[in-house]
Amino acid sequence: MPIKLTIPMPDDWHLHLRSGEMLRKVLPYTSGHFARAIVMPNLPSPVVTRHDALTYQQEILRYLPKGKSFTPLMTLYMTENTDPNEVRLGFLTGEVTAVKLYPAGATTHSNAGVKDLEKIYSVLEVMEEIAMPFLVHGEVVDTNIDIFDREAVFIETKLMPIRQRFPKLKIIFEHLTTKEGVDYVLSCDQNTAATITPHHLVINRNAMLVGGLKPHYYCLPVAKRELHRLALVKAATSGDARFFLGTDSAPHLTTAKESDCGCAGIFNVANAIAVVTQVFENENALNQLEKFLSINGANFYQLPINKQRITLERFSESQPIPEDIKTAEGIVKAFDPMMDVCWKVV
């Protein structure tokens, strides 16, 4: 007898869709497996205004495959000049769901990000007042700080002061990668949550560094030691309402990954649900899967649980890795989780 699981349609609470042909190529995978997604605003020309968000949303919907019901939830890119009134109006009209903090220089297309956090306090005051989620890329960018320590240092030097000053601000610590991050979220009340990616649940830094440099496992925040991966798995499979899926699926051409200065990002959305389900099965936690994929995030964002359903089937043998995506400019490689995955969305 085949094993099947049917759960409410999941949401992706952290997604990079890009634009143009890349958007057209990757969107079918998201719209096939997710009802909604928080769309990252770090395009080459960042999404900084309501008009930018509406224009980008229209482009996404223009490429949506026929028959798919998918809602892109738009975000604004926080800068030191972000207008608090623009943020308020965007949220109250439903045009914008959240605002994203990129420390300047932290990751792809983050040069327009924030250097001095005090310069955004007026925006955070408004966001706290209206209960608008503040999405945080939690790394410091000080070159004196080891890249593997940047999340932990960010918590102590940046995030804790923000939380102390704005105790009711809804903060989502995105793409969590460390035990320190897990412990911090667990120490907070229900105004703090975190997204966890499929790749950080299954790879540690050995995947990128052992046996030769493997650029397709390079992402930011970078994968850490095994003890941190295990802490993420424990948090995700616990059922705790503060943890939910954000794939951080970030497509790059192979030529951009395999270069002298390779891009950070893993395209995982084609098999994200299957990989996560396998992790939960391995931990004897399939009874918590629905919370992580379909419930916790919606509740934190104060959105209804999706009425659509999705079915996963477990096969007796490992399922093949999704095919690479072919574009006019080159190939995007799908995520290889380096483990057997016997689940598939059917």
Count structural domains, the chain: 1
3-state secondary structure 270-287: CCHHHHHHHHHHHCCCHH
pTM of the model: 0.97
| Run of H or E residues at 300 | helix 296-300
Please report, for the domain that includes residue 21, its CATH number. Answer: 3.20.20.140
* Per-chain mean pLDDT for the chain: 96
> Could you confirm whether 248 is annotated as catalytic?
yes
Mean pLDDT computed over 235-261: 98
Q: pLDDT higher for 103 or 18?
A: 18
The 10s digit of each residue's pLDDT in 141-186 is 999 999 999 999 999 999 999 999 999 999 999 999 999 999 999 9
For the chain, helix, strand, coil in percent to 5 are: 40, 15, 45
Contacts of 75 (CB under 8 A, 6+ apart): 38, 39, 40, 41, 47, 53, 96, 97, 98, 99, 100, 135
Q: Can you give the pLDDT at residue 199? A: 98
The 10s digit of each residue's pLDDT in 298-344 is 999 999 999 999 999 999 999 999 999 999 999 999 999 999 999 99
Q: Can you give the pLDDT at residue 299? A: 98
**pLDDT-derived band of residue 1, with 50, 70 and 90 as boundaries?**
low
Contacts of 11 (CB under 8 A, 6+ apart): 34, 35, 36, 37, 245, 293, 294, 297, 298, 306
Mean pLDDT computed over 188-194: 97
> Does the structure show a pLDDT above 80 at 202?
yes
Domain that holds residue 285: 3-345
- Pick the catalytic residue from 11, 12, 248, 336: 248
Q: Can you give the pLDDT at residue 295? A: 98
> Does the structure show a pLDDT above 80 at 2?
no
